[in-house]
């Protein structure tokens, strides 16, 4: 994978944040390259039966949806989760081919790139998060870089356990 996170010092804050988020997204896709349909659905960690490659990709897709569309824009939450099954996005992922999940994630990421381009980093989310705080778009971008990078680490572990492939 070609690195896309090298950041010239002249880049502004927005460019740095969006470049790192795009790099983390690209890394997610690279971790899944060449994974079989069967392996994408395999849960390898006894204490985490929902942690599959498919589950993690679907989780990342829906996490972005939640932060950008539900929290930032204030749209109605149409995510797959419920109070009874808060991790449902990971559970249902095994019902879909990994290429489809990756395509949906890429399409949604493109829409979110446009959304971010049309709003200021200081603009506050329409919905409050824990503690009644209205985070700004900058915080959401930073959080998504962290969330995506953390789950890329999980993908690294799963991939190595599945077929021995290791990443940078």
Encode pLDDT of 52-65 as tens digits.
Answer: 999 999 999 999 99
Statement: residue 7 has pLDDT above 80: no
Domains of the chain: residue spans and CATH: 13-163 (1.20.120.450)
- CA dist 129 and 142 (Å) reads 15
Write a three-state SS string for 67-116. HHHHHHCCCCCCCCCCCCCCCHHHHHHHHCCHHHHHHHHHHHHHHHHHHH
How far apart CA 151 and CA 56 sit, in angstroms, is 7
pTM > 0.85: yes
């Amino acid at each position: 994978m070609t690195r896309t996170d090298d950041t010239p010092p002249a880049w502004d804050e927005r460019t740095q944040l969006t470049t790192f988020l795009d790099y983390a997204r690209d890394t997610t896709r690279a971790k899944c390259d060449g994974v079989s349909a069967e392996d994408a659905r395999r849960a390898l960690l006894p204490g985490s039966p929902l942690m599959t490659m498919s589950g993690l990709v679907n989780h990342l897709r829906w996490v972005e949806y939640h932060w950008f569309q539900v929290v930032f824009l204030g749209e109605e939450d149409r995510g797959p989760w419920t109070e009874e099954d808060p991790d449902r996005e990971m559970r249902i992922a095994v019902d879909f081919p990994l290429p489809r999940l990756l395509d949906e994630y890429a399409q949604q990421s493109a829409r979110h790139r446009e959304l971010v381009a049309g709003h200021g980093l200081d603009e506050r989310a329409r919905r409050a998060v824990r503690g009644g705080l209205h985070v700004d778009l900058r915080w959401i971008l930073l959080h998504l870089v962290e969330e995506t990078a953390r789950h890329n680490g999980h993908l690294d572990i799963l991939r190595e356990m599945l077929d021995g492939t290791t990443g940078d």
